[in-house]
């Protein structure tokens, strides 16, 4: 820390992103929930670096990102003033945390959820209210009734993958008419139900989505929010006070092409869901507990080893998954759904690791037997 840092950031604990290997291709990367399939074919077409496209980069991007906002509004059947875009949904969430908390106010979110929320609370001076999950790792809607501050719920939740129904989300909205309820739908396209349909009749709802997961554009940094026009106007006020050109020209084009191609989108989501279901079945056959996932990852634990040990053993076999060294979930690893081929290699490696583990347990049992 330099002597120049503002004291209020002295204790800030930044978010730890999953590892991004420098040499691509050597590792099977199942740790940050990226999509294994390329973006829609239209994206590469529109990003051809001909001199004309390159020349446009001398001009600022459209601060309204109208082409992209229009395409998103059309996709969801909304008015354009109900939609705004951000540099990843992380930026939208940051704007929302800035905008929608009373001075030193409370923000409620599940204790086990996206680990960026507590970081945003710290940086923006909100009091993070961590609401425990039930023992089966589900979010209990009634725990949020009558909250005294903004509510943020990831649905489907991460890293569990488990989803609330639309009815449960609606009950939270109805029980908190005077609080903003943010539903972070980063994974909704893999089997969840979007709360967008509840915007009609709920001016306290803000739905946040991203192009990073289901639209294969994590590197383009595109997120968006959908809500009542006044809520969107508030977010835009923050955005225009912070970084008006938050989306660059290339990302606006890429995003527009990606959301236009509904067929490609449906097909890649379908494949990921199918792969997820067969992976979950195979892991269960190997004795794993796998939480029922509606996301592009599964959260699983083996009865034979802790999460860290399994994580390390996979790492040695050039497969990276995500492990969280936190109470209640440190038996688990989170595995991103890749291609069928990648999942086959994961299962092969897992069988090897389990075999080794069983042999080791047997050896230890024998030495114990000799001693007694």
Reduced to 3 states (helix: H, G, I; strand: E, B; else coil), residue 151 is strand
Count residues near ligand PLP (CB under 6 A). Answer: 12
Of the pair 108, 114, the CB lying nearest ligand PLP is at 114
- Tell the smallest beta-carbon distance from residue 33 to ligand PLP (Å): 6
102 phi/psi in degrees, rounded to 5: -65, 165
Q: Is 210 in the site for ligand PLP (CB under 6 A)?
A: yes
Segment interacting with ligand PLP (CB under 6 A) among 7-15, 36-44, 49-57, 210-218: 210-218
- Spatial separation of the C-alpha atoms in residues 220 and 262, rounded to whole Å: 19
Q: Which is nearest to 93 in space by CA: 116, 109, 115?
A: 116
Residues 56-95 as x/- pattern, contact with ligand PLP by CB under 6 A? --------------------------------xxx-----
- Tell the smallest beta-carbon distance from residue 305 to ligand PLP (Å): 26
* Element spanning 335, H or E: strand 332-336
Q: Is 223 in the site for ligand PLP (CB under 6 A)?
A: yes
Residues 172-201 as x/- pattern, contact with ligand PLP by CB under 6 A? ------------x-x---------------
Of the pair 31, 154, the CB lying nearest ligand PLP is at 154
Please report where in the chains the tokens 């509606």 appear, as a residue. 294
- Spatial separation of the C-alpha atoms in residues 180 and 100, rounded to whole Å: 7
- Spatial separation of the C-alpha atoms in residues 208 and 226, rounded to whole Å: 6
Helix, strand, coil in percent for the chain, rounding step 5: 45, 15, 40
Of the pair 222, 354, the CB lying nearest ligand PLP is at 222
Cα separation values, 214 from 191, 201, 254, Å: 11, 27, 14
What are the residues facing 333 on neighbouring strands?
300
Q: Is 204 in the site for ligand PLP (CB under 6 A)?
A: no
Of the pair 94, 313, the CB lying nearest ligand PLP is at 94
Q: Is 218 in the site for ligand PLP (CB under 6 A)?
A: yes
Q: Binding residue for ligand PLP (CB under 6 A) from 212, 214, 268, 275?
A: 212
Residues 146-175 as x/- pattern, contact with ligand PLP by CB under 6 A? --------x---x-----------------
* Residue 347 burial (C-beta neighbours within 10 Å; 0-12, 13-18, 19+): middle
Of the pair 61, 251, the CB lying nearest ligand PLP is at 251
* Residue 355 burial (C-beta neighbours within 10 Å; 0-12, 13-18, 19+): exposed
Give residues in contact with ligand PLP (CB under 6 A). 88-90, 114, 154, 158, 184, 186, 210, 212, 218, 223
């Amino acid at each position: 820390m330099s002597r120049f840092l503002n004291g209020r950031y002295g204790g800030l604990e930044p978010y730890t992103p999953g590892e991004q290997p420098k040499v691509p291709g050597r590792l099977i990367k199942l740790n940050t929930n990226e999509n294994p399939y390329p973006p829609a074919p239209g994206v590469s077409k529109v990003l051809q670096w001909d001199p004309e496209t390159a020349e446009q980069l001398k001009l600022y991007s459209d601060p309204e990102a109208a082409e992209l906002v229009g395409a998103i509004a059309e996709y969801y059947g909304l008015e354009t003033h109900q939609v705004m875009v951000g540099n990843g949904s992380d930026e939208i969430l940051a704007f929302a945390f800035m905008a929608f908390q009373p001075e030193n106010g409370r923000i409620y979110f599940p204790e086990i959820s996206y680990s960026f929320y507590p970081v945003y609370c710290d940086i923006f001076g909100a009091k993070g209210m961590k609401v425990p999950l039930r023992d089966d790792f589900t979010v209990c809607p009634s725990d949020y009734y009558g909250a005294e501050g903004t509510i943020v719920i990831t649905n489907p939740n991460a890293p569990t993958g488990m989803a609330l129904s639309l009815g449960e989300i609606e009950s939270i909205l109805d029980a908190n008419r005077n609080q903003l309820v943010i539903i972070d739908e980063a994974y909704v396209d893999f089997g969840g139900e979007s709360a967008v349909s509840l915007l009609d009749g709920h001016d306290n709802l803000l739905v946040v989505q991203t192009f990073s997961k289901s639209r294969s554009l994590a590197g383009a940094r595109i997120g968006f929010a959908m809500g009542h026009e006044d809520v969107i106007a508030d977010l835009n006020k923050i955005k225009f006070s912070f970084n008006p050109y938050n989306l660059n020209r290339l990302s606006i084009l890429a995003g527009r092409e990606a959301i236009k191609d509904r067929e490609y989108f449906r097909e890649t989501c379908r494949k990921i869901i199918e792969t997820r279901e067969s992976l979950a079945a195979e892991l269960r056959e190997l004795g794993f507990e796998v939480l029922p996932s509606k996301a592009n990852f599964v959260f699983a634990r083996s009865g034979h080893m802790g999460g860290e040990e399994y994580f390390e053993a996979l790492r040695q076999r050039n497969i990276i998954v995500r492990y969280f060294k936190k109470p209640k979930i440190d038996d688990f690893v989170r595995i991103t759904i890749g291609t069928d081929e990648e999942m086959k290699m994961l299962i092969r490696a897992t069988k090897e690791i389990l075999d080794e583990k069983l042999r080791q347990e047997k050896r230890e049992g024998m030495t114990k037997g000799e001693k007694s």
